[in-house]
Amino acid sequence: MTTLREYLESAGCEAGLRDLILLIGRQATPIREAFITHQAYVDSENVFGEQQAAMDTWADAWITRVLGESGLIRELASEEQEEVAVFPDSAHEYAIVMDPMDGSSLIQTNLSVGTIIGIFGNGSVMQSGRNLKAALYLLYGPMTTLTLSVGQGVQVFAMDKDGEYRLLHRDMTIPEGKNYGTGGTRPTWVAPHRAFIEAIEEEGAKIRYTGSFVADFHQILTYGGVYCYPALNEKPTGKLRLLYEAIPIGFIAEQAGGKTSDGRQSLLDIVPEKPHQRTPIYVGSPGMIRKVEAAFGTRR
């Protein structure tokens, strides 16, 4: 079975990008080991005023230190940090955006959680998703998997007993499907989103939603359908973050033949104005996204 290193070499990845992806992949082992001792919530809040799980703060500090000391990155923006971290002595110009522990509230119930990473060049995190050099997410479930795109489709690797990533699924393509997951509650949804959900339910769509964005998206990648966290009546920009969640996952989705939208345009076309910018998110099968945009009166 093809290893992650072998795949990156065959894909023609430049040495620095290859080394950075391999380094990120190796962090799955210490992260998994930390789950047992970092399950509780801590007496701190992130930059959004949300209570943090111990695993949020631990994973953020761990990954930031490892990548910062590597000499591979110039900037790092994390959902858990107020400011963009800058590493002026880096030998490379890669810039990282990350959600270090997506779905951390589910750790105590032993449901799947993950780490989301986007990698830009040119030394800056403030770029649209069209400029990503690579995106990946680590999923900590029954298997530890690494789902990756370096702009040449989407590959899924699974970690073996020796800590080596081996190719599990090659060139993933999002099928048209009828699964859906949506954040918010019906009374808070904006009218176009409510109309979209009611329409697909009438067509037989079935809800699949855990509250872990990365795990819920992986179901959509595998079986098709749509994941959404919409604009809400009192939160018109939704809940999820453009840089840390929407852009990396959107890049992977579109590389797998899927589509993304905020209701009006691709998530990858949005140029961030600030690191912690929020956006409504729709990501999944092309047919589902066309229905979303039709509900919002969008044509593209």
What is the pLDDT at residue 299? 72
Q: Over pLDDT 90: what percentage of the chain?
A: 89
User: Is residue 239 a known part of a binding site?
Assistant: yes
Q: Do 179-296 and 4-172 fall under one CATH topology?
A: no
User: Phi and psi dihedrals of 43, rounded to 5?
Assistant: -85, 55
Per-position DSSP letters for 168-221, written without gaps between them: EESS--PPP--EEEE-S-GGGB-HHHHHHHHHHHHTT-EE---S-HHHHHHHHH
What is the pLDDT at residue 108? 84
| pLDDT > 80? residue 174 | yes
From 3.40.190.80, 3.90.1170.50, 3.10.450.50, 1.10.760.10, which CATH number describes the 179-296 domain? 3.40.190.80
What is the pLDDT at residue 207? 96
Residue 91 burial (10 A CB sphere; 0-12, 13-18, 19+) = exposed
Mean pLDDT score across all residues of the chain: 94
For the chain, the domains span: 4-172, 179-296
User: Is residue 209 a known part of a binding site?
Assistant: yes
CATH homologous superfamily of 4-172: Fructose-1,6-Bisphosphatase, subunit A, domain 1 (3.30.540.10)
What is the pLDDT at residue 43? 52
Q: Residues 6 or more apart from 12 whose CB is under 8 A from it? A: none
- Condensed to tens digits (0 to 9), the pLDDT of residues 179-237 reads 999 999 999 999 999 999 999 999 999 999 999 999 999 999 999 999 999 999 999 99
Amino acid at 3: T
User: Is residue 274 a known part of a binding site?
Assistant: no
- Condensed to tens digits (0 to 9), the pLDDT of residues 39-60 reads 665 455 555 555 567 888 999 9
User: Is residue 103 a known part of a binding site?
Assistant: yes
Is the distance from CB of 126 to CB of 133 less than 8 angstroms?
A: no
- Condensed to tens digits (0 to 9), the pLDDT of residues 119-155 reads 999 999 999 999 999 999 999 999 999 999 999 999 9
